[in-house]
Amino acid sequence: MVLCSPVLGALLIIVTGCLCLSMMVRHRRPQEPPLDKGFMPWLGHAMTFRKNMFEFLKGMMAKHGDVFTVQLGGQYFTFVMDPLSFGPIIKDTKKTLDFIKYAQELVLKVFRYKPTDGVHQIIHSASTKHLMGQGLENLNKAVLDSLSLVMLGPKGPSPSASSWHEAHLFHFCYSVLFKAGYLSLFGYTKDKAQDLQDAEELFTKFRRFDLLFPRFVYSLLGPREWIEVGQLQHLFHQRLSVEQNLEKDGISNWLGHMLQFLREQKTDVCMQDRFNFVMLWASQGNTGPTCFWALLFLLKDQKAMKAVKEEAARVLGEARLEDKMSFAFTLSALKCTPVLDSVMEETLRLSASPTLVRVVQKDYVLKMASGQEYQIRCGDKIALFPYLSVHMDPDIHPEPTTFKYNRFLNPDGTRKVDFYKSGKKIHYYTMPWGSGVSICPGRFFALSEMKIFVLIMVMYFDFELVDPDVPVPPIDPRRWGFGTSQPSHEVRFRYRLKPMQ
């Protein structure tokens, strides 16, 4: 009897343990999407997903079809891959699918910023007022001034500017766009040369943070990198602090508007500093990489380059410098560039790969366009990855991996908006900016900024690939799902300022 009691006790523990485990282990219920938990307990498919999200989802789609639930690090994500069924998810009038709480968790982890009530709304209302319409026209002028400063220097171009310079195309685009975008939105001091130098230094740190970013989000950094990320966060909080801002002129109305809201809300000053970092990240992380792809596609497609140059000459006339210091540029021309618009839309189709995530607030019925319905559990996440399900769908975009500069042009030269899937007209035929409540509020500004840059390049500069036969580099697979993709390696090019009056 004495011997029996420990054995019985152990048996009891094992049986209870097994019972608990079987309750914890998730099984597919009737009417739920196919469930793929992977082999690793809790982790599920996390490692394969993080290594190459695009290939992983392609495999899952081939295995399960348009809807499937996968386990990723203890969480269950239902991916919906049929764009004809996106409507109810994106519109979700009953607010069963939440974006804000999900975003709050992310910015707390990555930027140590804890948003207060109303911040999401103020970001969108400030952007509607200052990054679109009349507000955007004022900001375009600031962007042009900043691009002139960054690309021509504080004293105008030096005599050597007309000689050939060799550089890395990705770094060049990212650095120019970052500095010009940062100065336009975050303002100047009285010393422009110093501002330029500060922006250059900030870019170096930004790029370092950017490189660590995907693995940071996935909690895959080594101990040294964790420390480095902490230091970088601290540096950005300091460099973008409200205190430093006091010394600046011309902070954009966009940022000013949002900071005023935070002040009125009596948000802690350190949180205001962190908010600035979030805005720097959101506003500068994608424009430079997108411009890299745009210029590279143009350099690889002489017909496209010719069409853009001809359009630029038509709407902007001859390139000249104002007071030998800045680009003379008629900003209203930005409204009359259908060819460049198509180039940018095509570039974004090929390079922008956001993931749209919504947290299911209560049990939800997912209604597909086919009429099929699926039960999705409260607490799970619904995710869209339009790069694979829309941008690369050959039914919607024939030869989807090929850059076709006129893909978004009608034969009469107007913007093409009619695209079809399975013979049905499709509303979401590209989604570089996300959609619904989380749509990028800076999209009009981003497009203007990138277009001004590309137009300056084709009008004012000669530029060419060092090796014209160099292939377009593959996309860095670790960055899928994080906005604009980046190349796996650099591309060398050379450029010079065209001689002019």
Name the one range near ligand HEM by CB under 6 A: 90-98, 197-205, 380-388, 440-448: 440-448
246, 316, 442, 494 from 241: Cα distances, Å: 9, 39, 22, 37
- What are the residues whose beta carbons fall under 8 Å from the beta carbon of 268, sequence distance 6 or more? none
**3-state DSSP call for residue 474?**
coil
Name the one range near ligand HEM by CB under 6 A: 8-16, 53-61, 199-207, 434-442: 434-442
**Residue from 96, 233, 267, 290 that binds ligand HEM (CB under 6 A)?**
290
Token pair listed for 160: 């050597």
Shortest distance in whole angstroms from residue 282 CB to ligand HEM = 4
Token pair listed for 430: 């590209």
Shortest distance in whole angstroms from residue 170 CB to ligand HEM = 14
In the complex with ligand HEM, which residue's Cβ is closer, 254 or 493?
Answer: 254
- Other beta carbons less than 10 A from residue 482's beta carbon: 19
Helix spans in 218-286 (H)? 223-239, 242-245, 253-264, 269-284
Q: Does 433 bind ligand HEM (CB under 6 A)?
A: yes
**Residue from 48, 96, 283, 337 that binds ligand HEM (CB under 6 A)?**
283
Shortest distance in whole angstroms from residue 432 CB to ligand HEM = 5
Q: Does 287 bind ligand HEM (CB under 6 A)?
A: yes
Name the residue with tokens 């000053």. Answer: 269
Name the one range near ligand HEM by CB under 6 A: 146-154, 229-237, 301-309, 350-358: 350-358
CA dist., res. 215 & res. 217, Å (int): 5
CA quadruple 226, 480, 172, 166: dihedral sign: positive
User: How many residues sit close enough to ligand HEM to count as binding (CB under 6 A)?
Assistant: 23
Shortest distance in whole angstroms from residue 4 CB to ligand HEM = 59
Amino acid type, 14:
I
Residues 77-116 that bind ligand HEM (CB under 6 A): 103
Name the one range near ligand HEM by CB under 6 A: 202-210, 385-393, 428-436, 459-467: 428-436
Q: Does 123 bind ligand HEM (CB under 6 A)?
A: yes
In the complex with ligand HEM, which residue's Cβ is closer, 96 or 283?
Answer: 283
**Residue from 122, 352, 455, 459 that binds ligand HEM (CB under 6 A)?**
352
In the complex with ligand HEM, which residue's Cβ is closer, 123 or 497?
Answer: 123
CA dist., res. 85 & res. 368, Å (int): 5
Q: For residues 192 and 261, is the Cβ–Cβ distance under 8 A?
A: no
**Torsion angle of alpha carbons 464, 469, 471, 472, nearest 10°?**
20
In the complex with ligand HEM, which residue's Cβ is closer, 37 or 237?
Answer: 237
Name the one range near ligand HEM by CB under 6 A: 11-19, 51-59, 239-247, 431-439: 431-439
Backbone φ and ψ for 87, nearest 5 degrees, come out as -45, -60
Q: For residues 284 and 206, is the Cβ–Cβ distance under 8 A?
A: yes
Q: For residues 468 and 496, is the Cβ–Cβ distance under 8 A?
A: no
In the complex with ligand HEM, which residue's Cβ is closer, 283 or 342?
Answer: 283
- Other beta carbons less than 10 A from residue 392's beta carbon: 17
**Torsion angle of alpha carbons 20, 23, 27, 29, nearest 10°?**
170
CA dist., res. 500 & res. 224, Å (int): 50
Shortest distance in whole angstroms from residue 258 CB to ligand HEM = 9
Shortest distance in whole angstroms from residue 46 CB to ligand HEM = 19
Q: Does 356 bind ligand HEM (CB under 6 A)?
A: yes
In the complex with ligand HEM, which residue's Cβ is closer, 405 or 433?
Answer: 433
- Other beta carbons less than 10 A from residue 378's beta carbon: 11
Query: DSSP secondary-structure letter at 171?
Result: H
**3-state DSSP call for residue 23?**
helix
**Residue from 43, 282, 321, 392 that binds ligand HEM (CB under 6 A)?**
282
**Residue from 44, 214, 432, 487 that binds ligand HEM (CB under 6 A)?**
432
Q: Does 296 bind ligand HEM (CB under 6 A)?
A: no
128, 290, 293, 405 from 171: Cα distances, Å: 31, 12, 12, 23
Question: What is the β-pairing status of strands 364-367 and 373-376?
Answer: antiparallel
Q: For residues 103 and 114, is the Cβ–Cβ distance under 8 A?
A: no
**Residue from 440, 457, 458, 497 that binds ligand HEM (CB under 6 A)?**
440
Contact letters (x/-) for ligand HEM, 136-155, by CB under 6 A? --------------------
Q: Does 438 bind ligand HEM (CB under 6 A)?
A: yes
In the complex with ligand HEM, which residue's Cβ is closer, 80 or 497?
Answer: 80
**Residue from 446, 454, 459, 497 that binds ligand HEM (CB under 6 A)?**
446
Q: For residues 32 and 343, is the Cβ–Cβ distance under 8 A?
A: no
Q: For residues 179 and 150, is the Cβ–Cβ distance under 8 A?
A: yes
- Other beta carbons less than 10 A from residue 95's beta carbon: 10
In the complex with ligand HEM, which residue's Cβ is closer, 319 or 354?
Answer: 354
Shortest distance in whole angstroms from residue 484 CB to ligand HEM = 5
Name the one range near ligand HEM by CB under 6 A: 47-55, 210-218, 241-249, 348-356: 348-356
Name the one range near ligand HEM by CB under 6 A: 51-59, 258-266, 352-360, 461-469: 352-360
**3-state DSSP call for residue 384?**
strand
Residue number of the CB atom closest to ligand HEM: 442
| Interacting residue ranges for ligand HEM, rule: CB under 6 A | 103, 120, 123, 131, 282-283, 286-287, 290, 352, 354, 356, 432-434, 438, 440-442, 445-446, 483-484
